[in-house]
Amino acid sequence: MKLEIGNIYVKDVVLSNRTALEDHVLYINEDDIKKIVLEDERIKNITVKLAKPGESKRITPVKDVIEPRVKVDGGGSIFPGIIGKVDTVGSGRTHVLKGTAVVTVGKIVGFQEGIIDMSGPGADYTPFSKLLNICVVIEPKEGLKQHDYETSARLAGLKVASFIGQVAKDIEPDEVLTYETKPITEQLAEYPDLPKVGYVYMLQTQGLLHDTYVYGVDAKQIIPTLIYPTEIMDGAIVSGNCVSACDKNTTYHHLNNPIIEELYKHHGVDLNFIGVIITNENVYLADKERSSNYTAKLAKYLGLDGVIISQEGFGNPDTDLIMNCKKIELNGIKTVIVTDEYAGRDGLSQSLADADPLATAVVTGGNANEVIVLPPMDEVIGTYDYVNTIAGGYDGSLKPDGSIEVEIQAITGATNELGYNRLSVKTI
């Protein structure tokens, strides 16, 4: 499959009486957004707020972050099986409103939802502080069950992002990037002297409100399978989970997976990027065994020399991560695992809940238990009602002056396990 990504760099977003894109300025009509979202009778009302880099604004509790995109040609539509028909995506051309995001906010669904600060020390921990955020604050109808609320909030964000993305359809992009993965026999033969590398993409599916969707199907229901990397870049996978905000893969993360982009940059240079194996994270041991066995089998079947494995979440999924790593290594395939750490506030505790001597190459997104004080902001988009109870907070996190003391696991994207975060390392 060959996919062209046409990036249109947006310089500003303005609330207006129309929805349009002119001279790199995105105009948003709140009534247009309301009309789309309130088609869902489970939602009582919404408001649209803008949050821009450097502003004294705090967004919480954050549910999802979604990049507006539109299919220009090649068949299918963005977010197939959810917004559009279940057509295969990953080819043709897609236009992207780069530098913008739709952020869904509102009454909490699960306790593991997060915070985005647009300025101050908290902004340094989240990549989303650098975007022009179109915040859709959702007010559900009274008595709505958690699963129904999660579904309505997820659909609202995807609908709004898809609608806004339409303004880019006939705009000439500022740049066009091309990505291609060929059918497997052609791909294997293309660079016979380079090591064959694949990517095992672990999707969060671990129980209640821990859902990820592949072409509209809850990934709990799948066995590990092959997917073109361009399908992921084109909206085939979307977020629907309430794991800790720091290492949750939002829909924005799936669309902009940096591991996939880096593998494409190295393809044909020092490796042959063969493709992606998607797998789930399970609750029960038998399911973990099934998925890890199948993942290792697919890696061997493809004849891979090396594999990168990324995790989503922590704790129980650490076992899925290590089982995937160990079984792939036992097939003679070198692995690198990408995770984050919960090493305690002092950094001295065991970082992962599971380990194995074969897991010798590890990339970390940072220690989610690190504590930070977020200063007061002039405006809160959403509500402070849940700051003390979200993962990373505690009874007393919210101070009388509006400052918040939390672990960085409460900050959306702070220790993301795809590496789409702002933490790094330095040599001292």
Catalytic residue positions?
242
The region that residue 4 occupies, defined by phi over 0 for left and psi between -120 and 50 for alpha, beta otherwise, is beta
Residue type, 375: P
Return phi, psi of residue 9, to 5°: -85, 115
Q: CA 261, CA 239: separation in Å to the nearest integer? A: 19
Cα atoms in the 13 Å half-sphere on the side-chain side of 5: 23
Establish whether the linkage from the previous residue to 61 is cis, with ω within 30° of 0.
Answer: yes
Q: Answer yes or no: are the C-beta atoms of 378 and 58 closer than 8 Å.
A: no
Q: Which residues pair with 65 in a beta bridge?
A: 103
- SS3 letters for 6-28? EEEECCEEEEECCCEEECCEEEE
Q: CA 276, CA 233: separation in Å to the nearest integer? A: 12
**Residue burial 157-179, b: 16+ Cβ < 10 Å; e: rest:** bbbbbbbbbbbbeebebeeeeeb
Q: Is 105 helix (H, G, I), strand (E, B) or coil?
A: strand
Q: Which residue, among 269, 324, 318, has the nearest Cα to 298 in the 3D structure?
A: 324
Q: How many CB atoms lie within 10 A of CB 338?
A: 22
- SS3 letters for 284-309? CHHHHHHHHHHHHHHHHHCCCCEEEE
Q: Is 248 helix (H, G, I), strand (E, B) or coil?
A: coil
Q: Is 390 helix (H, G, I), strand (E, B) or coil?
A: coil
Edge-first strand listing for the sheet containing 92-98 = 69-73, 92-98, 2-9, 175-180
Q: Answer yes or no: are the C-beta atoms of 201 and 310 closer than 8 Å.
A: yes
- SS3 letters for 255-281? HCCHHHHHHHHHECCCEEEEEEEEEEC
Q: Answer yes or no: are the C-beta atoms of 60 and 115 closer than 8 Å.
A: yes
Residue type, 25: V
